Amino acid sequence: MTASLPDEDFFRRESGRLVSTLTRMLGVHHLALAEDAVQETLAAAVEVWAFRGVPENPSAWLTTAARNRAVSLLRRERTARRFAPEIVRLADAEGAPTESPVAHLPPALRDDELRMMFSCCHPDIPEDAQVALVLSLLSGFSAHELAEAFLVSRAAMEKRLSRAKKMLSGTRGLFELGARDFETRLVAVHRALYLLFNEGYHGASPDAAVRLDLCREAMRLVALLLAHPPAATPATHALAALMALDAARLPARVDEAGDLTELSRQDRSRWDGRLIARGLELLESSARGEVVSEYHLEAAIAATHALAPSAEKTSWGEIVELYDALLRLRPSPVVALNRAVAIAEQLGPERGLEALRSIPGTERLSAYPFYPAALGELELRCGRPADARRHFRAAHRLARNPAERTFLERRIAECERQLSSGSSPDATRPSSSKLSPRRTR
């Protein structure tokens, strides 16, 4: 018995590991049973460990307990039937719980968790369901927590999850990946982890703790890819770099009152120096290959911010160029919006407004509060607070959470202050306030 408590990711890690391992042992058609066995095992562990302390090797303890629990669940399920090969297989696995009979798979997929991750990202499963599935199966999130994180009803999240799990467990081919699928599926895995991180970083949930959890999980899962060489491609390194560099800014992103602080007004001394160093290191090792992925470009943008001593001293020209490259790779109005904001910093607000107005397909941004917010910000800087207020109000109507609303209310109040005092444009520049729009999707 040890007195020490497991670290704070312990149950997430173990939950993902056990579900993945049991699913491999039982076959994917028993996914639900594997999940039940794991949940019951972990819940029992909490009770037993509360009284007796955490055992020397908690992972081994859990593996054995989960396997036993699965056997008894299977027996219960199969009493009516005669033969249960799964039971035999599980019983045979005694003593060799992690040995995997999948030597024909690409090495990275011999790891149970990676295989699960790759399976969750099957092209037949919609992207938002892939992310939910990863968080449910590999990170131990409940449907309730996911509903909160993604601002959907609990019933809607349960439906999304159960549909995706039905697909996963009903299609043998989904779980059985060949070497040929590896590369294409890795692209989908990157995408899902990227979305997962962004949901934490810019997401809709008003609960900062929930969002921080999402970021941490994205980083844990990407580290899992890095630890398995065939999955540790340059793009994987770039994605990990992007996460580290963005996460480095998290401590400065929310002020004492819990309100969002834009990039330009953040106290840069509160950025996490270790994460920045780690991110730069990862970015450097991502430069091995010939392919420049969107993650390379986004990580390079994040690195440029991380290395700038202040918003004013940021190499905006370089950032605009990186956004240009990103637009060529992934044309999207959100990327174009980010680029326009950078142009405003580089060449002034009037040029920024021009760039904003010439974005093709702005109607796709019609539900996106940062578009009118950016218009408002730049109008304000041009000394037109009445126009600015109109845009900020439009943005406020589109705001998706209290943090965004509070932020926009402060900007509206600033417009009103300027309108009533009739102050001149150059006195009004609110510390070169730059928006930090939601990351490009």
Here's the x/- map for another protein, 413-432, by CB under 8 A: it reads as --------------------
Of the candidate spans 44-52, 87-95, 236-244, 251-259, the one that interacts with another protein by CB under 8 A turns out to be: 44-52
Contact 164, 269 (CB under 8 A): no
Q: Does 75 participate in binding another protein (rule CB under 8 A)?
A: no
Contact 170, 96 (CB under 8 A): no
Looking at 8, 99, 290, 363, which residue binds another protein (CB under 8 A)?
A: 8
Of the candidate spans 49-57, 95-103, 177-185, 314-322, the one that interacts with another protein by CB under 8 A turns out to be: 49-57
Q: Does 438 participate in binding another protein (rule CB under 8 A)?
A: no
Q: Does 11 participate in binding another protein (rule CB under 8 A)?
A: yes
From the CB of 346, what's the least distance to another protein, in Å? 43
From the CB of 312, what's the least distance to another protein, in Å? 41
Rg of the Cα atoms in the chain: 25
Pick the closer one to another protein by CB: 15 or 205.
Answer: 15
The amino acid present at 129, given as its one-letter code, is A
Q: Does 155 participate in binding another protein (rule CB under 8 A)?
A: no
Q: Does 5 participate in binding another protein (rule CB under 8 A)?
A: yes
Q: Which of residues 204-223 bind another protein (CB under 8 A)?
A: 213
Pick the closer one to another protein by CB: 54 or 337.
Answer: 54
From the CB of 47, what's the least distance to another protein, in Å? 4
Here's the x/- map for another protein, 112-151, by CB under 8 A: it reads as ---------------------------xxxx-xx------
Torsion region of 377: left, alpha or beta (phi above 0 gives left; psi -120 to 50 gives alpha): alpha
From the CB of 161, what's the least distance to another protein, in Å? 13
Looking at 50, 103, 257, 367, which residue binds another protein (CB under 8 A)?
A: 50
Binding site for another protein (CB under 8 A): 5-6, 8, 10-12, 14-15, 39-40, 42-43, 45-52, 139-142, 144-145, 213
